[in-house]
Amino acid sequence: MLEVTGASKVFGGRHGVTAVQEASLIARPGEFIAIVGESGSGKSTLARMLLGLIPPTSGGIALDGVDLRRMDPTQRRGYRRTVQAVLQDPAGSLNPRKTVRKALADVIRRHAIASRKDMERVASAALESVGLFPASAFLDRYPHELSGGQRQRVLIARALVLDPRIIIADEAVSALDASVKAGVLRVMTALQAERGIGYVFITHDLPVVQKVADTVYVMRAGRIVEHGPKKRIFEDPQHEYTRTLLAAAPRL
Ligand code: ADP
Ligand code: MG
C-alpha cells in the first residue's frame, strides 16, 4: 500500500509557489485511482512526489508503512521497482536513439532483473503482455518507427519488466486518438485484473475516468477537494468544483 499523508510541496522557498497542499491519498495494488483537476492544480507535482523524484516540503510518502525518507538504499531500490512511472511519450520518455530492445535491456540490467542470456526472453514477454505481437517485430525498432499507441505500450512494457505493484501514469494516454487510447486503456485494465497492478492515473479526460477508474480524487489549486468511489463522485458530487468539472465534461 502506497500512502501519502498530508503532503505539501512548496517550490522556491518560503514565499514560493505551493503546488500541493496537505494532500492525502492511499493507493492499493489492484485499484484504479484517477486524479482529475484543471491544469496547474498540482497533479504532476503529486505524481513526482509519489515517484520519489521530489521530496515533499512537509508530510510523508510511505510504502507498506515505511516512510520514503527513512528507507535504506535497498528499500529505496525496492520502492523504485514497486512504484513505476508511465508518462506521456512526447515528454521524451523514450530516447529516440535507443531501440526498444536497448530501452528494456537498460532497465533490466540496472535492476539486475535477468542475466544477459535471459534479457531477450524477459523483454519479449513484457512486450507481448502489452499486445505487441510478435515481440521480435518490435525489439529492433526505434521510437520513430512506432505509432503513438505502440510507443505508449513500450513505456508500459518497460515498467512491467520491474514487476511493479503500482503504476503512476501522468496524462499517459492524453495525446492519443480515441481508438488507440481505448486499446492502451484495455491493456492497462487487463494488467490490473490479471496481475493486480494498481494505478494512479492522472488525466483531464473525464470520459476515460468514467470508463476505467475505481476511485476518483479531485484536485484544485493544490488541494484534494474531494475523493471517493467513482460512482459516488459522478452521481453525487459533494464539492462545488467537482460539479463544475462534471458539467464541463464532454458526453458523459
Ligand atoms: P498540473 O499537473 O495539475 O497541471 P503541476 O503540478 O504541474 O500541475 O503544477 C502545479 C503548480 O506548481 C503550478 O502553479 C506550477 O506552475 C507550479 N510548479 C510545478 N513545478 C514547479 C517547479 N519545478 N518550480 C516552480 N513551480 C512549479
Ligand atoms: Mg501535469
Q: Whole-prediction pTM value?
A: 0.95
Q: Does residue 98 have a pLDDT over 90?
A: yes
The residue type found at 192 is: Q
- When pLDDT is averaged across residues 156-165 and rounded to a whole number, the result is 96
Superfamily for domain range 2-248:
P-loop containing nucleotide triphosphate hydrolases (3.40.50.300)
191 band by pLDDT with thresholds 50, 70 and 90? very high
Mean pLDDT lowest for which of 10-14, 90-94, 181-185, 215-219?
90-94
Spell out the domain ranges in the chain.
2-248
User: Is the beta carbon of 43 within 6 A of some atom in ligand 1?
Assistant: yes
Q: How far apart are CA 56 and CA 155, in angstroms?
A: 26
Q: Does residue 91 have a pLDDT over 90?
A: no
Q: Does residue 90 have a pLDDT over 80?
A: no
What ranges in 161-239 are assigned the alpha helix state H? 178-195, 206-212, 230-235
Ion ligand 2: residues, Cβ under 5 Å: 43-44
Can you read off the three cell numbers belonging to residue 184? 492502451
Q: Does residue 252 have a pLDDT over 70?
A: no
What atom in ligand 1 is closest to the CA of residue 48? 6
Q: Higher confidence at residue 204 or residue 190?
A: 190
Rg (CA), the chain: 18
